Amino acid sequence: MNLRRWLTVGIGVKRWLLVAFIGLIILALGVAHVLRQVSAALPPGSLLGDLLDALTLQSLPYELRGLILGTLGATLFLVGAYRLVRALVDPFALWDRDLPMVEVIYQKRFLARGPRVVALGGGTGLSTLLRGLKEHTSNLTAVVTVADDGGSTGVLRTELGIPAVGDIRNCIVALADAEPLMGRLLQYRFPGVAGSHAVAGEPSRDLETPPSSLGGHAVGNLLLAALVELEHGDFEEAVREMNRVLAVRGRVVPATGAVLTLHARLDDGSEVSGQSRVAKADRVDRVWVTPEDCRPTDDALRAIADAEVIVLGPGSLFTSILPVLLVPGIAEAIDASGALVVYACNVATQPGETGGFDLADHLDALGRHGVGRLPDVVLGNNRFNAVPPPGWVGEPVRLRWPPAAGPAPRLVLDDLVDPVNAHHHSPDRLAIAIMSAWEREGGHRRRPAVARAGRTA
């Protein structure tokens, strides 16, 4: 396996080994020429002449002499070159030491040539997508919602006045090369409930450790909050530092640096505020975010402008995907890009939020928010015999098509579901479907940026 990796086309190793080897051959020929001239000039029987004859194996037949010296030289060259590269690289390596160096070089060089992909959303769906995509490209940017207000994230948001960090933490864990060790650390939650001390009846992850003032907080959330303090309140820079510290394969950026609040109007005309309450609401009609004058981060806009593929979802439609698209400037940036825009529809409904939704209902919901024009391709799951998780009250998303309003994007159906969990996508299958859609487009930006201006919702 290691030898096949070294011989893989495109990782930039063999060409330079060949150049170095040719250089050594020329050097050896030069040295041999000098030795020959010196040996010829020495008187017969001299001590130096006898020493040169011994070193050059003059007592052996010519063919055997060349074979021995050639084999010894090639072996020493290859071993020395490998050990030299390893000695130079190892002190700076941030990968798992059990991973062969050639595998790391392959990942860094080969994946660096992958398409520039931007994924928007949050929650479990976006983390699942990133785990699959990072095996195909390292030019990957996750633009993450910051509207969450529940649990540990909600407490830090209230007490410190910082945007939501939970979804950002999950995406960083998904892209970190140090996963799963670093992932377990960042995802660890202290026993208890966030924002409280001991709570009667609250189960603890460690029965011997009583809840504390850190109860319910994830280590990754606290680390991000600390970085915000160290960066003097600059949330964007704190996330950048988190990416650097954890050697993230790609980048994770917040959709905005503002503290967002998500609002929803339900089918009965009532309104609710707060992402955690919207997620539990029944029959959501429309959502919006405040403050209305929030601005997208520069990193998010640059990534979208440079993207070759933009993926919306998967994830909670009203509480993960739309809170990103409704940040002023995000949808417009996608509209102006030359990227292929793919909407990865959920494989299952979410009770309350999207209960009873089929494939077309998801697109109609995007249309009601003025972003239904964005997708060029919709990925839908056509496998319905996956194993449902315990206590599952959702159902597979039915394949009614096309949506009621506006021109229908191109529909691509595939087996995208995790076979042992009917509620989640398979990371590998979803990533392959997206990369296949990109390859069908010819592997280049689809059209000039101005071409989208003529599309209607």
CATH number of the domain where residue 424 is located: 3.40.50.10680
Q: Within this chain, do residues 358 and 390 fall inside the same structural domain, yes or no?
A: yes
Distance between CA 281 and CA 276 in Å, rounded? 9
By the 8 A CB rule, do 235 and 257 touch? yes
Domain-embedded: residue 166: yes
Domain-embedded: residue 258: yes
Q: What is the DSSP string of 365-409?
A: HHHHTT-TTS-SEEEEE----PPPPTT----BPP---S-SSSPPP
**pTM of the full structure:** 0.76
Q: Tell me, what's the pLDDT at 98?
A: 55
Domain-embedded: residue 43: yes
Q: Within this chain, do residues 343 and 411 fall inside the same structural domain, yes or no?
A: yes
Q: Tell me, what's the pLDDT at 7?
A: 57
Q: Within this chain, do residues 51 and 174 fall inside the same structural domain, yes or no?
A: no
Q: Tell me, what's the pLDDT at 79?
A: 83
CA angle centred on 347, ends 430 and 278, rounded to 5°: 120
Q: Within this chain, do residues 319 and 439 fall inside the same structural domain, yes or no?
A: yes
Domain-embedded: residue 451: no
Of 70, 97, 124, which residue constitutes the final position of a domain?
Answer: 97
H helices of 188-321, in order, are 219-230, 235-245, 275-280, 298-306
Q: Tell me, what's the pLDDT at 194?
A: 62
CA angle centred on 71, ends 69 and 74, rounded to 5°: 105
Q: Tell me, what's the pLDDT at 18?
A: 76
Q: Within this chain, do residues 82 and 116 fall inside the same structural domain, yes or no?
A: no
Q: Within this chain, do residues 119 and 89 fall inside the same structural domain, yes or no?
A: no
Low-confidence ranges of the chain (pLDDT < 70): 1-14, 85-108, 178-181, 193-212, 443-457
Tally Cβ neighbours within 10 Å of residue 204.
Answer: 15
Q: Tell me, what's the pLDDT at 147?
A: 94
Q: Tell me, what's the pLDDT at 2?
A: 53
β-pair partners for 141: 118, 251
The total of structural domains in the chain comes to: 2
Of 49, 66, 97, which residue constitutes the final position of a domain?
Answer: 97
Domain around 31: 2-97
* DSSP state, residue 296: B
Of 72, 97, 122, which residue constitutes the final position of a domain?
Answer: 97
Q: Within this chain, do residues 412 and 268 fall inside the same structural domain, yes or no?
A: yes
Q: Within this chain, do residues 49 and 155 fall inside the same structural domain, yes or no?
A: no
Distance between CA 99 and CA 249 in Å, rounded? 16
Q: Within this chain, do residues 11 and 78 fall inside the same structural domain, yes or no?
A: yes
Tell which residue, 227, 212, 215, has the closest CA to residue 151. Answer: 215
Q: Tell me, what's the pLDDT at 190?
A: 84
Q: Within this chain, do residues 48 and 147 fall inside the same structural domain, yes or no?
A: no
Q: Tell me, what's the pLDDT at 444?
A: 64
